[in-house]
Each structure stands twice: as structure tokens, then as C-alpha cells.
Amino acid sequence: MSQLLDFALQANIYLQPIQFTLVTLTNIINICILRSRILRSPPCTYYFLGYAISSIAYTLLVCPTQFLRGYHIDWANTRIGCKLHYYIVFLPPFIARMMLVLAALDRYYSSSYTRQFYATNTKRMTKSIILVCVIVSAIYMSPMSVIYYFNESNGICLQYTNLLITIYIFSQMVIFYMAAPILMFACGLLTIINIRQHAARITPRLTSSQRRRTEGQLARMLILQVIVHLIITLPFGIVYLINAFDPSTRTPNVLGIRYILVIWQQCDYFMSFFLYVFSGSVYRREFFRLIRCCSRSTQLEQQQFALRLIHNNINE
């Protein structure tokens, strides 16, 4: 075992509990805030909710796996684990990126002059789109459960190599690392242009202005999240594709780099909370309102507990 691989495995023991706590806590807060009355009105919010749920699902799977690897326990190196590991670990990030793509498309249509499409994009339709996206993603990623096999001679999980697998891996590269980023960036730039054009027009009535302001902040939140998302996730994607196309590169040092990049990639799943707070005033207001509600609820529980103690003492 190389020193770099040993360092990455040891780092998992200390960092994975922190990652697990941060991702779970921040995304639960995201879900609570995004479900508020103000933010849940635009259909785009449901894509953010889908991203938050996918982030929690990914963390529940990856953090325990990476933590156990620090103690040299890898459930992927078993007959059943070899078939399941790569499928259930790679599926949530794929769905999460698709949620960002759908959110980028939604922001573009919301900000465009011709709103005929967006007028029909109701919440029910958005939920249907998310459901279809999850089903299609699950079907598309299903080959991940059959392109790996357990090598009993050395006790590790390896990838088959043939033309069909190479084509499938190449399709992942095109969809996940080329088409999706290009589409997100293109929609983001077009959304910014449309928002500026609308801002230059005559201000509509108040309710429409408030809705437009909320949608504009959702657009900024999305664009910032897309940029950070690509910066954090692309390094692991590059190493993964190199390993997939050339199995000879799966050396201990490269494996150590891959584990370190997994840790780096995990940061993407709690960064969204801080990006939302930084870029959206509506989100900040709802966050502080949530804190106040929790604080009042805690004070009320403490008062009720104190009253029960006084009542019990009087009865005694």
C-alpha cells in the first residue's frame, strides 16, 4: 500500500463523520426552507428539493463506505457488493446533476419573453418531470451493476473491458461531464440576459414584482451553485474516466488520489446551503425565520417543563 493511499484511508476516519453531519444537517435545513410558502411557489424549487434529497441519499451511502475503508473494510470487494456498490453510489450524483440541469432549464423558460411553455409548467408537471428523470436515470445507470465482477483470486472488484462497456462509459462522459455542464452554463447565461432585459422594462404591479424578484434570486442561487458544483466534481470525474478507459491506471497511488477527490467531491453536497445564504436574500430571511421559530419552540418547551416541575412539587 502506498503512503498516499494510506493517508487517504486514514483521513476518511476523521473526515467522514464531519461530512456526514454537515451534509445531513444543511440539506435538512434546505428542505425546510425551500418548502416555505414564499420559496415553494416557483416550480424550480422542486428541483432544488430533488437535489437536496439526492445529496442526503448519496451521503448516507458514501460516508459509511468511506469510513469503513479507513479500517480496511470495503463491502465493494464482495460478490454482492461488487454488483451493487457502483450502481447505488453513482446513481444519486447523477440524479443530483440532472436536477441542476432541469432547474437551469426552468430558470431559462421562467425568465424568457415567451412564457407559453412556462405557463404550463405547473407544480404537478414539475413533479412528473422529476419522477420521470429519476426513473430514466435509474434505468440508464443500471449497467453499472453488471460491468463489474468480483475477482476471487485477489479478492477485489474489477471492471469488464469490451466495446459495449467502453461505449457506455463514453456516454457517461458525454452526458455527465460535457452535455450537462454546457447546458447548465448556456441556460445560466441566457437567464442572466433575460433577467437584465426584464429589469430594464417598466416595473409591473407589486405582486408580479415580488414574484419576479424571488425568481431572479433563485436564478442567482442556481448559477452560483452550478459553477461551484462543476469546480468540485470535475476532478473526480476526470480520474474516474481515466480509470474506466485504462484499467492499468488503477495503481495504489491513483486510488489514493481518487479517494481524496471523493472527499473533495463530497463538499459539493453541503456547499449549496452556504451558497443559498450568500446569494439569496429571500433564503436568508426564511433561514433566520426558521431559527427564530426553533428558538421560540425551545423556549416554550422549557417553560412547559418548568411548569410541570412546579406542578409536581406542589402536588407532592
Percentage of the chain with pLDDT > 90?
30
Residue 10: its pLDDT value, please?
92
Q: CA torsion 205→206→211→213, rounded to 10°?
A: 100
Segment of 41-45, 165-169, 244-248, 285-289 carrying the highest mean pLDDT:
165-169
- Cα 100 vs. chain centroid, distance in angstroms? 8
pLDDT, tens digit (0-9, with 9 covering 90-100), for 149-161: 998 888 888 888 8
**CA 114 vs CA 111, 120, 290: distances in Å:** 9, 12, 36
**Cα gap 191→182, rounded to integer Å:** 14
The three grid cell numbers given for residue 130, joined into one nine-digit string? 422529476
Residue 103: its pLDDT value, please?
87
